[in-house]
Amino acid sequence: MQTIHSVAQVREYVRGWHRKGHTVGFVPTMGNLHDGHISLVREARARCDVVVVSIFVNPTQFGPNEDFDRYPRTLDADAAALVDAGADLLFAPSVDEMYPLGQNQTWVDVDGLGDYLCGASREGHFRGVTTVVSRLFNIVQPDVAVFGEKDFQQLAILRRMTEELLFPVKIVGAPTSREEDGLARSSRNGFLSESERKLAPQLYANLQQIQQAVEAGERDYRSLEARFSDALNEAGFAVDYLTISNARSLAPAAENDTDLVIAVAAKLGQTRLIDNVSLAVVDNQ
């Protein structure tokens, strides 16, 4: 595996692969890789001839009071993990390489889908995500790009962006990778204290209980949201949102919606965690 840092080098490699008729898979990351990231790389490897992984902690998707400065940078360990996972190329650009003109003035923004869930409380976050991913797509020119379903809203927004901007890229969503106790794997899990880490699996457990209630016929979604938000707050979380949403629009679900996502974001101490479960509602009437 080669590690490179410039846009020109990535384009040279990819042109060579495409000339040979190879398909190129791409996994964009911010590094500090865990088994969830590695599962994305393996998914790309199963679908494509060669795999490019990017590691770039993107400043434009962090708000002024978020954790950009303390986000872990572990490039050497990440590179070693990617060798074992079978990646062919690691692209690890600097901020200046990705934003060569300094303060960014050109943005990609997807209306509507960013109005809910994380987008409601992290102003500008998804504009930063879509802008950097569109740049990465233009640099890497992949045939397939793989993203985790843990970031359900991000995946939905990137699908819409790719479709509407006519990027010739197939977007693949890979299932959420979880620890044995159910906690969704995340680079931010390393910020949890020992006591917080023991509490964290309750996030997924509560989502499962809501899912079971809906599958049993409960349709008062706002009441479910309130009840389980209160339970998480009482357990020690600080809930940002817990929402039963239409899986397509991400708006709060109505009783007659059939495709749902139950999504949550909550803080434990200073660490913000997200998770979700999807389900199809079938009324047996």
**What separation, in Å, do the N-terminal and C-terminal C-alpha atoms of the chain show?**
56
Give the SS3 label for residue 188.
helix
Q: Any binding-site annotation on 148?
A: yes
Contact 5, 93 (CB under 8 A): yes
AA letter at 270: Q
Contact 275, 263 (CB under 8 A): yes
Q: Any binding-site annotation on 33?
A: yes
User: Which pLDDT belongs to residue 282?
Assistant: 81
Q: What pTM was estimated for this model as a whole?
A: 0.94
- Which residue in 49, 5, 46, 44 sits closest to 23, CA to CA? 49
Q: Any binding-site annotation on 102?
A: no
Q: Any binding-site annotation on 233?
A: no
User: Which pLDDT belongs to residue 285?
Assistant: 45
Q: Please list the rounded mean pLDDT of every run of 10 residues in the chain (285 residues).
A: 97 98 98 95 97 96 83 93 96 96 91 92 92 98 98 97 98 96 94 97 98 96 98 98 97 95 97 96 67
Catalytic machinery residues? 37
Domains of the chain as residue ranges with CATH? 2-174 (3.40.50.620), 187-275 (3.30.1300.10)
Tell how far CA 228 is from the center of its chain: 24
